[in-house]
Structure 1
């Protein structure tokens, strides 16, 4: 009899709570990150290593236009499974040659009506690849933005020392070293603070140093990048302990690597998350074998979006994190050849989408 009464009470409570939940309405916004994989124009820039992407190497205007069309298809569809009314309001991006290619991208037929605007700075990377932020002007209003350089050195003394004048040696991405200072040139970290429909949120866009030369040997460079990222986060927390911060990018490391776990101090569960902390929803995905790029029959999730504690443990009266995902539509996957089963990359002069899959999160807010 007691069991029967308990079950009746349980179903009554469930029905009441369900009726209340059905009355609640939420607004959803998508925030995404995508490595565009060498979004280069066809114009020779004497100040960067862009020779691989020129018409005499097969990178024609036709190929460039196809690449833009491919990327626009992805961006307009990102996050629309749960948010069919709109593409991402904010998109972090990397592997961009210059502002011009972004201007061409946001003018693509699929995107032009979204009114995407651009925040971009030239980085010291000699290949000319930068990070950037795209945003829909009707939803997000930037109030400040800056590029923050990462100072790392070939001798391992990544102490952030800044030289007043530095000579760049023309070498590839892995060894862009100034012989006089031993500085390795890499991408800046982009910080943008603004208002998402009236609520202040800061975004940090990253593209950390590669694993060229080996994961272990190159790890200190990414650890330095993680430490810089944490320094930026702490500076925002110092101004406002309730700061809402989203840091995202191609980190060239997984969520469990030292650069992320120790450098940024990110945790993989909400239970571990403390005030002034950072939550990484991609850590759980990584442990489940989900990835954004494949190599030698294994997957890594180098592309990550992490969030400050107030975005994760807040209530739904303001913008709050809901869930994260990897965007893996069939058309993004190579179905034949050497890269079968992996993201459909640029190959033999033929434009693909990217050798990385994009990632995205949903922010939700109760509207009644």
Structure 2
């Protein structure tokens, strides 16, 4: 048990966490030692250590312990996850992970890290996301990772998402993210047929803000709550930037039974963004933005182009 009875649940898009080896089945050539980005062993190890340190600090302002559960986006494979959980800042916390290779052409997947002392893993599966571009060509995007386990002896259902990007335009691609939302909603409907009042945690990089139609109109149901909704301040705060404007694509939503202390050992306490100084860009022009690993081909040596987000749950 954590000393202050708090549990941190987090999500972090790691910005292209690739190893340095060429996998012939995915488009990872840029992230090899001979590739366009000159992705060396030293650069890889530096990123692993920095990300492990960042993860160990999530929620630390309120909770001395690192996250009991953290969803991840943009991880290449099990090797990078093994290297991450065995890195110095994390190794003593005894993390394990759930991960499946997805059909994404670049090989960037979702995963879930969990501390075995606090989270009892039961099962996991990938939920395929079938979306199509014009001309009925499949967009080979990430699967949705579904994990069920026991947190503080309570059964919880966790969905880790990395929804289709806005690369071809936000409005032009919104139908893909609405499809993803409907996929999660359908699976939650199945869970509700098998389990009364299930505890749900839906996290991810949704490539949409809290007020976007995919979230507001298609994902959120009356028994789901999005604590991230009040955190986005477009000109001042978010989890990532685009053209100097803040977005909050990284979100964690929960079922409203996390407010019901009569039937629940874990109660929602707060939500926040880890936008602390060491994760921020130091260059004056981009000061306060996430300190990323690359800008185009230029190597900066930072952490990620996203800040982590998290919620705190308290044992009653």
TM-score bracket, shorter-length normalisation = over 0.9
Structure 1 SS opposite 2:311: strand
Q: TM-score, normalised by structure 2?
A: 0.93
User: Which residue of structure 2 aligns with residue 253 of structure 1?
Assistant: 208
CA contact (8 A) 2:73 2:204 kept: yes
User: Which residue of structure 2 aligns with residue 307 of structure 1?
Assistant: 254
> Which deviates the most, 135-144 or 310-319?
310-319
> Which deviates the most, 235-244 or 146-155?
235-244
CA–CA distance in 1 between the matches of 2:233 and 2:281? 24
User: Which protein is bigger by CA-based radius of gyration?
Assistant: 1
User: Which residue of structure 2 aligns with residue 329 of structure 1?
Assistant: 276
Aligned match of 1:354 in 286, 293, 304? 304
The alpha-carbon deviation at position 338 of structure 1 amounts to 5.8
* CA deviation vs aligned residue, 1:270-300 (integer Å, no higher than 9, x gap): xxxx4xx210011111257530001222100
The alpha-carbon deviation at position 197 of structure 1 amounts to 2.5
Q: TM-score, normalised by structure 1?
A: 0.80
- The count of residues paired between Structure 1 and Structure 2 equals 308
* CA deviation vs aligned residue, 1:23-62 (integer Å, no higher than 9, x gap): xx96110000000000000000011111111112311000
Aligned match of 1:89 in 47, 62, 68? 68
User: Which residue of structure 1 aligns with residue 265 of structure 2?
Assistant: 318
CA–CA distance in 2 between the matches of 1:232 and 1:223? 14
User: Which residue of structure 1 aligns with residue 184 of structure 2?
Assistant: 229
CA–CA distance in 2 between the matches of 1:105 and 1:262? 36
Between Structure 1 and Structure 2, the one with more strand by share is 2
The gaps in structure 2 that reach 5 residues or longer are none
CA contact (8 A) 1:321 1:361 kept: yes
- Answer yes or no: is 1:63 the counterpart of 2:48: no
CA contact (8 A) 1:59 1:349 kept: no
CA contact (8 A) 2:205 2:250 kept: yes
- Answer yes or no: is 1:365 the counterpart of 2:312: no
User: Which residue of structure 2 aligns with residue 29 of structure 1?
Assistant: 7
The alpha-carbon deviation at position 120 of structure 1 amounts to 0.2
User: Which residue of structure 2 aligns with residue 344 of structure 1?
Assistant: 291
CA contact (8 A) 2:258 2:264 kept: no
The alpha-carbon deviation at position 340 of structure 1 amounts to 3.5
User: Which residue of structure 1 aligns with residue 30 of structure 2?
Assistant: 52
CA–CA distance in 2 between the matches of 1:337 and 1:100? 36
CA–CA distance in 2 between the matches of 1:311 and 1:47? 42
The alpha-carbon deviation at position 310 of structure 1 amounts to 1.0
Structure 1 SS opposite 2:175: helix
Any residues of structure 2 matched to 1:1-368 within 5 Å, and which?
27-57=5-35, 58-84=38-64, 86-155=65-134, 182-265=137-220, 274=222, 277-286=223-232, 290-315=237-262, 318-336=265-283, 339-347=286-294, 348-366=298-316
Structure 2 SS opposite 1:325: strand
